[in-house]
Structure 1
Amino acid sequence: MTKEKNWEAIAASPKFQALVRRKKRVLSGLMLFSVAYYFLLPLGAAYASDLFSRQVWGPLNVGLVFALSEFVVAWSVAVIYSRIANREFDAMAAQIVAEAEGR
């Protein structure tokens, strides 16, 4: 039989608050970077059309390469977040759970 956890006490604990602050900081940074990178495409197409229309190889131009790089950035952000979550967040959460269970 498992013991009922005091969720209010867990949410109020300094370690849980530190976990929430760290996650917000990481997510905010990654989100700001990805949104800024995303908006570079329409801004570049509008204000740097000479650069974006420059041929790279065959019919491929800088604008298309930049647009395709959006996928690389999205996957990179996901990988970065998952590595930080696995390394830091999971350890912090396990410690919080262990303290809540009285270990």
Structure 2
Amino acid sequence: MAVKKQSFAERPGVDYEALAQSAMFRGLIQEKKAFIIPATIFFFAFYFTLPILTSYSNVLNAPAIGPVSWAWLFAFAQFVMTWALCILYSKRAVKFDEIVEQMKQEAKEGGNV
């Protein structure tokens, strides 16, 4: 006997199409884009700068602290940058989650989201 699975859109209770068209949902998506797109561009620019500079120039070969070159410091900075972006996103995600919870509550009450 085959069991038919229902998608979220087919389940009774919440009108997901109306929810996706709501101003609050669109605002949430805009807020997420406003953070994620610049953060991603910064990440890729920062990340690919190291291999490009080490491959095509000698800028990072100079010693920075004793025998440690600028290339090693830049490589270490990539770990710091990754952690910093993760922490920043985690803090921002709390705000996103609050908006989602508010949307869920309004949808449960049958109000306009």
Q: Which residue in 2 is equivalent to 1:90? A: 97
Q: How far apart are residue 93 of structure 1 and its match? A: 0.9
Within 1, Cα distance between the matches of 2:13 and 2:38?
Answer: 36
Moved over 3 A (4+): none
Uncovered stretches (5+) of structure 1, i.e. residues with no partner: none
Which residue matches 2:17? 8
Question: Cα deviations across residues 58-92 of structure 1 (Å, max 9, x unaligned)?
Answer: 43211011011111111111111111111x21221
Identity percentage of aligned residues: 30
Larger radius of gyration: 2
2:31 matched residue in structure 1:
22
Question: Which deviates further from its counterpart, 57-66 or 68-77?
Answer: 57-66
> What TM-score, normalized by structure 1, do the two folds share?
0.85
What TM-score do the two structures reach when normalised by structure 2? 0.78
How far residue 23 of structure 1 moved from its aligned partner, in angstroms, is 0.7
Matches within 5 A, 1:40-55: 40-49=49-58, 51-55=59-63
Q: 3-state DSSP class of the match of 1:101?
A: helix
Instruction: Give me the whole-angstrom Cα distance separating, in 2, the residues matched to 1:45 and 1:19.
Output: 40
Q: Which runs of 5+ in 2 are unaligned?
A: 1-11
C-alpha distance in 2, partners of 1:36/1:89? 26
Within 1, Cα distance between the matches of 2:39 and 2:19? Answer: 27
The equivalent of 1:56 in structure 2 is: 64
Aligned residue-pair number: 99
AA of the residue aligned to 2:55: A
User: 2:109 is paired with a residue of what secondary structure?
Assistant: coil
Give, in whole Å, the separation in 1 of the partners of 2:90 and 2:65. 34
RMSD across aligned C-alpha pairs, in angstroms?
1.7
